[in-house]
């Protein structure tokens, strides 16, 4: 099975306020070349959005982000999430994600957290908040002692900074929101979002 980190160079991190927007938004992202879509569990519409994308956009690989509890794991998988992403992790949350049967990216921001996950057999992680936690310099410093750990950095990454992350040997993809500008979402301008997604999909390390 292809690693979640290798499906596309950029994972759009989506906050959906209205579940009715989920399917046209997902279709625009997929058409632009970004099939891996993280819908954050930050709004009441999130689970319905995941369910709609799972049911109606077969080319999308939809997952749940901001997963912070075992209940959230169960609800996301029941809604059709094909992967899980957390901003951080605890033993309870990690146990639930490992039991879920779907790929997951637990969030880390320190070397000790990375080592603890490797100890648990987890070698693919979200690095969050990427820019605030040290950015490319921090990740580059981890590659020497911990080459087996691979990351999806998320948090503060832009179209301009993404290539420097993707060039690192321990980064498979990045998470971002720059292809989802608020004005385009508000106007339901799916064409603009597709164009921005295409620009992100063209990024290579």
Task: Provide the annotated active-site residues.
Answer: 38, 126
Question: Cα 85 to the chain's mean position, in Å?
Answer: 6
Q: Residue 142 is inside which H or E element, if any?
A: helix 135-143
- 88 vs 45, 102, 193, CA distance in Å? 22, 17, 29
Q: Are 66 and 88 in contact (CB under 8 A)?
A: no
Residue among 118, 69, 123 nearest 97 (CA): 69
């Amino acid at each position: 099975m292809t690693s979640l980190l290798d499906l596309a160079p950029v994972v759009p991190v989506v906050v959906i306020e209205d579940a009715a927007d989920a399917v046209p938004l997902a279709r625009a992202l997929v058409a632009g070349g970004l099939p891996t879509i993280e819908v954050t569990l930050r709004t009441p519409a999130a689970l319905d959005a995941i369910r709609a994308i799972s049911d109606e956009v077969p080319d999308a690989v939809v997952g749940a982000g901001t997963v912070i509890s075992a209940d959230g794991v169960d609800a996301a998988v029941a809604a059709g999430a094909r992967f899980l992403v957390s901003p951080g992790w605890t033993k309870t949350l990690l146990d639930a994600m490992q039991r879920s049967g779907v790929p997951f990216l637990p969030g880390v921001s320190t070397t000790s957290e990375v080592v603890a996950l490797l100890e648990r057999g987890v070698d693919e992680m979200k690095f969050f908040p990427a820019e605030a936690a040290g950015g490319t310099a921090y990740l580059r410093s981890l590659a020497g002692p911990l080459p087996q750990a691979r990351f999806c950095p998320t948090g503060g990454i832009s179209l301009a900074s993404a290539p420097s992350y993707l060039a690192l040997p321990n980064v498979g993809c990045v998470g971002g929101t720059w292809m989802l500008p608020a004005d385009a979402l508000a106007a339901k301008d799916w064409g603009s979002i597709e164009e921005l997604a295409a620009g992100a999909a063209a990024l290579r390390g």
